[in-house]
C-alpha cells in the first residue's frame, strides 16, 4: 500500500510540475539548405514567448533515408520514462518535385528516442506505410487506451488507386521499434493530410487538413477508433492557406479562470510559419486569433511538448538559449 501511495503521489507531482514548467517545441526551418530541414528545438515558460535553443542550429540531424526531416512530432511515453521524436523522411531541398515526393517518396519515418530530452539515440529509418505507398508524411502518435499501445498515424498516397488521393494511414506499436500492419485510419473523397489528436475531459479531438479545398476540420470522439463527429461550431473551418494543425493546452482551468487552448496553424499560403489561435473551451471549437505570441523565427510544421521546470532548465543549459 505504501508503494502504491508513493506511486500515485509521484505521478501527481509530475503532472503538477509539467503544468508549472513550460514547453518544448520541435520544428524545422525551411527548404533552403540541407541543414534547414532538420530538427530544431525552442522552449517557452508560458507558451507565448519562445526562445530558440542550440544557437538556432539543428539539435538532431538525420543521416538516414533522404538525410533530411520535416513535420516533426514529439511525445512522452505513457509511463513517462522516454521521449520519442517522429518525422517525415523527406528532403525538399534535394527533391523539389512534388510528383516524385508523392509517388516515389519514402515509405518510412525517422525516429529518435531519449530518456532525458538531452541525449538522443541515433536516427533510425522505420518503414510504416503500405508497400505501394508513394510517401509517408507528418507522422504523429498517441497512447490508445483500448489497445494499450500507441496509435501511429501519417498521410500516404498509394499505387492501388493510382495515387489519386492522400489518406491518413495508421498502425500500432508498443515500443517504436516494431510496428504493426498499416491500415486506413481516415479517408474522404478528397486529399487528407496533417492529422493531430489531443485528449481533454475524456474525449479526443482530431484536427486535419483537407488538401483539396485547403480547409482545416475538427472532429470529436470518445475513442480513437471512433466513431468521429464533426464539431459544427469550429470557427476556423473556412480558413484557407493553412495546414499542419497542432493543438496544445497553454494553461489549465482554475476556479477563477477557464483553460487556454492554442491551435497553431502553419500559414504556408504566405510563408509566415505558424499562426496561433486560442480558445477557452476546446469542446466548442471556437478559436480566435491569438495575441502576445513571439517566435524567434517562423516555426514550421512541428509539435509542442509540456515539460517540467527541471526539464526546462536542463534543455536551456544543455543547448543554450537564444531569443
Can you read off the three cell numbers belonging to residue 191? 486529399
> How much is the pLDDT for 10?
37
Is 274 exposed, middle or buried (CB count within 10 Å of its CB: 0-12, 13-18, 19+)?
buried
Q: Which residues, given as ranges, of the chain have pLDDT below 50?
A: 1-19
| DSSP per-residue codes, 16-72 | HHHHHSEEEEEE---SSSTTTSSBEEEEESSSSB-EEEGGGS-SB---STTS-EEEE
278: DSSP letter: E
289 with 267: CB under 8 angstroms?
no
Can you read off the three cell numbers belonging to residue 124? 533510425
The phi, psi pair for 176, rounded to 5°, reads 60, 25
> How much is the pLDDT for 18?
41
93: DSSP letter: T
> How much is the pLDDT for 80?
97
pTM recorded for the entire structure: 0.92
> How much is the pLDDT for 16?
39
Angle (deg, nearest 10), helices 309-319 and 2-20: 60
The span from the CA of 248 to the CA of 56, in Å, is 23
Q: Where are the domains of the chain?
A: 2-322
The span from the CA of 54 to the CA of 49, in Å, is 17
282: DSSP letter: G
> How much is the pLDDT for 323?
53
Q: Return the CATH architecture of domain 2-322.
A: 5 Propeller (2.115)
The phi, psi pair for 104, rounded to 5°, reads -130, 25
> How much is the pLDDT for 321?
60
| R_g of the chain computed on alpha carbons | 19
The span from the CA of 230 to the CA of 135, in Å, is 27
Amino acid at each position: 500500500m505504501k508503494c502504491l501511495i508513493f506511486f500515485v503521489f509521484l505521478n501527481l507531482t509530475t503532472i503538477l510540475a509539467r503544468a508549472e514548467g513550460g514547453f518544448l517545441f520541435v520544428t524545422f526551418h525551411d527548404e533552403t539548405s540541407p541543414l534547414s530541414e532538420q530538427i530544431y528545438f525552442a522552449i517557452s515558460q508560458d507558451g507565448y514567448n519562445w526562445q530558440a535553443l542550440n544557437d538556432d542550429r539543428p539539435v538532431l540531424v538525420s543521416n538516414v533515408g533522404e538525410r533530411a526531416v520535416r513535420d516533426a512530432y514529439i511525445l512522452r511515453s505513457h509511463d513517462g520514462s522516454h521521449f520519442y521524436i517522429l518525422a517525415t523522411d523527406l528532403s525538399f531541398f534535394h527533391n523539389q518535385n512534388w510528383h516524385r515526393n508523392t509517388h516515389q517518396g519514402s515509405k518510412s519515418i525517422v525516429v529518435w528516442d531519449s530518456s532525458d530530452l538531452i541525449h538522443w539515440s541515433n536516427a533510425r529509418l522505420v518503414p510504416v506505410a503500405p508497400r505501394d505507398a508513394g510517401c509517408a508524411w507528418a507522422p504523429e502518435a498517441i497512447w490508445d487506451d483500448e489497445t494499450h499501445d500507441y496509435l501511429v498515424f501519417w498521410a500516404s498516397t498509394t499505387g492501388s488507386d493510382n495515387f489519386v488521393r492522400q489518406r491518413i494511414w495508421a498502425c500500432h506499436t508498443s515500443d517504436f521499434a516494431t510496428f504493426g500492419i498499416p491500415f486506413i485510419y481516415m479517408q474522404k473523397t478528397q486529399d487528407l493530410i496533417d492529422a493531430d489528436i489531443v485528449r481533454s475531459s475524456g474525449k479526443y479531438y482530431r484536427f486535419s487538413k483537407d488538401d483539396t479545398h485547403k480547409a482545416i476540420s475538427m472532429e470529436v470522439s470518445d475513442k480513437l477508433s471512433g466513431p468521429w463527429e464533426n464539431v459544427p461550431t469550429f470557427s476556423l473551418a473556412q480558413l484557407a492557406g493553412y495546414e499542419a494543425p497542432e493543438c496544445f493546452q497553454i494553461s489549465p482551468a482554475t476556479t477563477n479562470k477557464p483553460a487556454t487552448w492554442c491551435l497553431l496553424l502553419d500559414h504556408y499560403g504566405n510563408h509566415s510559419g505558424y499562426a496561433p489561435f486560442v480558445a477557452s473551451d476546446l469542446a466548442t471549437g471556437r478559436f480566435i486569433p491569438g495575441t502576445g505570441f513571439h517566435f524567434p523565427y517562423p516555426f514550421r510544421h512541428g509539435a509542442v511538448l509540456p515539460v517540467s521546470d527541471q526539464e526546462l532548465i536542463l534543455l536551456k543549459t544543455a543547448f543554450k538559449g537564444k531569443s
